[in-house]
Structure formats: structure tokens, C-alpha cells
Amino acid sequence: MEEPNIDSDKYSKELEVGVRVVQLACCLCQKVQKGSDQKGSSFGPNPDHVVSKDDDSPVTVADWSVQATISWILSETFGRENVSIVAEEDAQTLSDPNAATLLGSVVATVNETLSMAPRFGLKSPAAPLGDSEVLDAISRCNSTGGPVGRHWVLDPVDGTLGFVRGDQYAVALALIENGRVMVGVLGCPNYSSKKKLVNNSNVGKLSSDLWQEGCVMYTKKGSGQAWMQPLVHGDGILEWPNSASIIRVSSIDNPAMATFCEPVEKANSNHSYTAGLAYSVGLRKQPLRVYSMVKYAAIARGDAEIYMKFAKAGYKEKIWDHAAGVVIVEEAGGVVTDAGGRPLDFSRGVYLEGVDRGIVACSGVNLHEKIIGAVYASWDSSHL
Ligand SMILES: Nc1ncnc2c1ncn2[C@@H]1O[C@H](COP(=O)(O)O)[C@@H](OP(=O)(O)O)[C@H]1O
Ligand SMILES: [Mg+2]
């Protein structure tokens, strides 16, 4: 496919609004996660508010609240009729009459968040949203994307398990136009804009000072650049354009010096297969196991060189788990493909159809070629 010509002003407003609303959403998530410190607030962790979905993965007040908030802001900003959103959550559980308390928490969290929107350069509603408006904002994110038109792609809380455990998670928003990811914004509330993910012992809990700051990374397709800004905290105001720094992938291309990341959960990626690949290409460091798209963030800003994910045969990757991270890594100088070396295809609906075996993101072509070569060499003897 030929690369489209992208004029530099195109998508500027989408990028700006995307960054503003992801900053706001990160603030929401931090308040929910640290809720025990926010006495008297409607935010707060409540074990009853972590619900198991049909696939046994968790969903929380934060997931629904972020989705409702971002959906409402995008509709207000660009006009409801112009906004198509493909997002992870639906409103079914919340609409159940038995879920009134849960819905009450989501509505309170959304309203408390939207009341802060002006600090982020966004509009607040004239009056607090009611239950039906919040449910409507969540349920209209039911687009299935596809090859034609503009679609926002949202994972409100990616790595919900990391979120529930006080560990790494991300708010991921992307804009796809005609099947290509044109804008990516990745909010990483527990990934400090200053400190590196040095080793596993640093992939720690919220109590660690290391994570307090958080960051948001973003890019526009074809800009050849990706940026990072710290999260807005306390009563801070989000300025735009602001003092974001340019991020760049690592220049290390010697496997012996390189670090690879992968999912924490064995169920999400085959750790023994990646250990074999790592050994065969000469990677010597321990893998960095990190929840969520923070793995893409780590590659984009040079904290690690390789991200590999080999899900069980039959698992279909969703576009919201990759879109924002892929475009940020690419514009920061990296390469992302499936394990057969082909680009990921965001044009075929909710799923990344046709992914060959797994996903490989690298800081540069040398390491990438080595990993893809090792996959070809080892596949027959693997036990996926
Ligand atoms: N069986 C499976 N195999 C691979 N990935 C899975 C999976 N079940 C869930 N996932 C995806 O893996 C994401 C978490 O990524 P990671 O394992 O890298 O932290 C989940 O995102 P959510 O937490 O948003 O549901 C989910 O989309
Ligand atoms: Mg996800």
C-alpha cells in the first residue's frame, strides 16, 4: 500500500483534543486508583466495583467512566454525527437494574471528572450528566471500524489487571482514517516521564515514588516524531502547545545489550517460546514483564528495544490493544509487524485480522530482522 501524503496541519485538532482528553482520563484513573486517599470524594476503590467479564478479565468503574468521559468530550467537540468510536466496553452490565450502585459510582465519577475538564482546555456539561446520558455515551462507542472513514479507537483502561494491582496500565486513544492509524495518544499514569523501567524490580506498586508522575505520549502519522509530556497533577492546567519532549527509540542494536518486554501474564503470551527466541538471537538480559501498552511506550522512548507477544493459537488481537502504541513506536523510529514480518492491518474491523503467529515491535530493523528470522527458524519445533 502506498503511504498517503499527510499535510502537517491535518489531524492537529484531533491530536490536541486527544492529548487533552487522555490527560483528563489519566487524572480520573489516578483518582479511582488512589481513592482511599481521597476521603469525602465519590471516587474510590471498592472491591465490589471490579467486575468479571465473560472472558474472566476484570472491568472497573474506571474503565466505564473513562469510556463515557472520552465519548462525551469527542462528541461535544467534533459533533455527535461525525464521531465513530470503536471501544472495549459496553453498557450491558451497567444497565442491569441490579447494578444501580455500580452505575451510580460511574455517573458520579464521570461528573466529577467532567467538572475538571476546563483545566484541561475542554468543555464541561452545563448540568451534570444523568444515568441515561452516561449509559448512552458508553454504548455509542459500538462502532466496528473498518476500511472506510474516520474511527476513534479507545481502550479506556488497557491492562486492567495492572490497574487493579496498582501497577502499570494505559489509556489508549487512536484515530484511524481509511484503515490507517493517523493519530496515537497513550496515557501511562504509573510510568514516570523521568525514570526508566530499569528492571523487573522497578515495575512496582503505586506506593513507589518512581511512578508518581506519569506521562502521556503522542504522535501524528508521517510526522517522523513522537512526543511525551508529564501528567497534569493537582490543580495544574494543561497548556497547549506545551513543553513536551521528543522521544526516540533506543540506538542499541547489539542483542547482548538489548532488553525485551512481554506481558506479565503467561496466559497472554507464551513466555517459554519468547525465552527460546531470546536465547537464539543472543538476548542476555532478563525479560521486562510489564502490563498493558506501556510496553510500546517503553520501546518508543528507548527504555527497551524489543516487545514480543505470542498469544495462544486462536486468540484474536483487538485493534484498541495496539493502534496507539504501534503508531507511536513507528514515528519514534521503531518497526512493528506481525511475527511473519508483515504490517498490522487496522482496516478490517474490531480485530487485527490475519496476524501471523504474534506481534514484534523493535527499536530498529537489525533487531527486528533477527527476531523474525528466529521465529521462522524455530516455529516448527515450538509448542504453541
Ligand atoms: N488470552 C489472551 N491472550 C492474549 N491477550 C489477551 C488475552 N486475554 C486478554 N488479552 C489482552 O491483553 C491485554 C493486556 O495486555 P498485557 O497482557 O500485555 O498486559 C488485555 O487488555 P485489557 O486489560 O484492556 O482487557 C486484553 O485485551
Ligand atoms: Mg486492552
**CA-to-CA separations, 75 to 138, 175, 327, in angstroms, rounded:** 12, 14, 24
Measured between alpha carbons, how far is 66 from 170 in angstroms, rounded to an integer?
Answer: 11
Residues 6+ apart with CB under 8 A from 138: 64, 67, 68, 71, 89, 90, 91, 94
Helix (H) or strand (E) holding 241: none
266-315 pLDDT, tens digit per residue, is 999 999 999 999 999 999 999 999 999 999 999 999 999 999 999 999 99
Q: Give the lowest-confidence range in 59-63, 70-74, 249-253.
A: 59-63
Residue with CA nearest ligand 1 atom 13: 159
Ligand nearest to the CA of 162: 1
Ligand 1 neighbour 321 (Cβ under 6 A) = yes
Active site residue 219: no
Q: What is the mean pLDDT of the chain?
A: 90
CA of residue 170 to ligand 2 center, whole Å: 8
Omega into 125 within 30° of 0, i.e. cis?
no
**Contact of 291 with 264, CB cutoff 8 Å:** yes
Would the pLDDT of 48 be above 50?
no
Catalytic residue of the set 60, 63, 109, 219 = 63
Q: Which residues are annotated as a binding site for Mg(2+)?
A: 88, 155, 158, 321
Question: How far is residue 167's CA from residue 99's CA, in Å, rounded to a whole number?
Answer: 27
Please state whether beta strands 150-158 and 85-87 pair in parallel, antiparallel, or not at all (unpaired): parallel
113 is catalytic: no
pLDDT in tens, 10-21: 999 999 999 999
Amino acid identity of residue 37, one-letter, is: D
Which ligand is located closest to the Cα atom of residue 159? 1
Which residue among 268, 274, 288 has the greatest number of ligand 1 atoms within 8 angstroms of its CB, and so is best to mutate? 268
63 lines ligand 1 (CB under 6 A): no
Cα–Cα distance, 377 to 359 (Å, whole number): 16
Q: What is the bridge-based pairing of β-strands 215-220 and 226-230?
A: antiparallel
C-alpha 108 – ligand 2 centre gap (Å): 24
- What is the model's pLDDT at position 49? 65
**pLDDT given at position 331:** 98
Q: Could you tell me if the CB of 57 is within 6 A of ligand 1?
A: yes
291 lines ligand 1 (CB under 6 A): yes
- Structure pTM? 0.93
The single residue of 69, 109, 160, 274 carrying the catalytic annotation is 160
Q: Given pLDDT bands bounded at 50, 70 and 90, which one contains residue 203?
A: very low
Dump pLDDT digits (tens) for 104-138.
Answer: 999 999 999 999 999 999 999 999 999 999 999 99
Ligand 2 geometric centre to CA of 292 (Å): 7
Helices (H), 89-215: 92-95, 100-114, 131-139, 160-164
- For residue 57, the ligand 1 atom closest to its alpha carbon is 25
* Bridge pairing between strands 288-289 and 260-262: parallel
